Amino acid sequence: KAGVTQTPRYLIKTRGQQVTLSCSPISGHRSVSWYQQTPGQGLQFLFEYFSETQRNKGNFPGRFSGRQFSNSRSEMNVSTLELGDSALYLCASSLASASTQYFGPGTRLLVL
């Protein structure tokens, strides 16, 4: 069974731009969660989608948004990028909401 895939793996953007990251969960998994990892901050929860509905949301500004499609694939969008948005963005899928999660390799975003 294929694991969680994320595209692109690396991305360089400039301040003010927007970016869309994609995540394909493990086949059969209906829950997708997104996390931001920065040095010294661990994994900070962004949001979780289950069956195309946002189930939980972390403490991030409205510039961070996401969606999930009927095939469970998910996208995350960050608008008006700031230097502090430079981070590793991780996607995790699970069979059900908040059950054991399986992570993708992440997308490393650099904002210049």
Partner 1 sequence: DQQVKQNSPSLSVQEGRISILNCDYTNSMFDYFLWYKKYPAEGPTFLISISSIKDKNEDGRFTVFLNKSAKHLSLHIVPSQPGDSAVYFCAARGRRDDKIIFGKGTRLHILP
Where do contacts with partner 1 occur on this chain (CB under 8 A)?
A: 4, 33, 35, 40-45, 48, 55-56, 58, 90, 92, 97-98, 100-106
Choice between 15 and 72, CB closer to partner 1: 72
- Closest contact distance (angstroms) between CB of 43 and partner 1 is 4
Closest separation between CB of residue 14 and partner 1, Å?
A: 24
Specify whether the CB–CB gap between 58 and 66 falls below 8 A.
no
Radius of gyration from C-alpha coordinates of the chain: 13
Strands 42-50 and 53-57: antiparallel
Shortest separation between residue 90's beta carbon and partner 1, angstroms: 5
Neighbour count for residue 42 (Cβ, 10 Å): 9
Compute the distance between CA of residue 93 and CA of residue 98 in angstroms, rounded to an integer: 9
Comparing CB distances to partner 1, the nearer of 81 and 90 is 90
**Which residue lies nearer to partner 1 by CB, 16 or 61?**
61
